[in-house]
Amino acid sequence: MRILAVLALCAVPVLDVSSVAQTVDDIVAKNLAAKGGVEKLRAVESVKTSGRLNTPRCELPVTNWTKRPNMMRREIVADGQTQVVAFDGKILWGINPLLSPKPQQITGPAADRTRKDVDDFDSVLLEYKSKGHKVELGQPDGTASRAGPRLRVTKKNGSVQDIYLNPETFLEDRISMEVDQEGPPGAPAQGKKAVVATELSDYRSVDGMMVPFRVRQTFDGQPQGEVAYEQVQFNLPIGDELFKMPVK
């Protein structure tokens, strides 16, 4: 890549043969193989992660559970109280002890985005054609830190995300997408967009699969939080009741 950059500066018309030769399916296959292979990924039924959430204000314990096909639950402990956000496949709900000890259903644009985010338990690239997604080669952003392949994914539900792969490992370095910015409650939509980016690093092997143990999120370039995982466990027995909103 350095040689190509020098040649470009010299205005020599050279093609990057390696990138031209690689099709979308070649790159997707390398990504899935790097994660542990299609068969191992398909065999995952549940994931539990635990670690520390670092925000600009504090550091908090966080635990996540996900289960096929699209259930999730996150618990964050702050000042001895547990905040919960969960999705049982139909209803998104949460418990915020600062507001009420009772579970509340979550609605609105943020809830709609969450439903889109969790609509697929597997990697978005796994069997993407059968899911109705579209994957295209994107243009590199020109920075040395993101010199690897860039894939633009248009999901069946219409959401679009850019996936930046590491040029050496073919694992995800960064995933970004545009979202609508929300105004005050009851105010009309302003049509403004913001970029939510997730940066993944510190990959480690767990049960033969490569997992990012550090996940950092930004909103229009501003840090929102970073999770450093301490443990990742696959295929624990997790009952569906964990994800359902308790009866009031």
Q: What is the mean pLDDT of the chain?
A: 85
Q: Domain total for the chain?
A: 1
Domain around 36: 24-243
Closest CA to 68 of 87, 46, 92, 41: 46
Cα–Cα distance, 116 to 60 (Å, whole number) = 26
- Domain presence at residue 7: no
- Domain presence at residue 15: no
- Domain presence at residue 97: yes
Whichever domain contains 73, its CATH number is 2.50.20.10
- Domain presence at residue 8: no
pLDDT-derived band at 21 (thresholds 50, 70, 90) equals low
- Domain presence at residue 177: yes
- Domain presence at residue 3: no
Provide mean pLDDT across the span 182-188: 48
Cα–Cα distance, 24 to 152 (Å, whole number) = 10
Give the model confidence (pLDDT) of 46-83 as tens digits: 999 999 999 878 899 999 999 999 999 999 999 899 99
- Domain presence at residue 13: no
Give the model confidence (pLDDT) of 134-155 as tens digits: 999 987 665 555 678 999 999 9
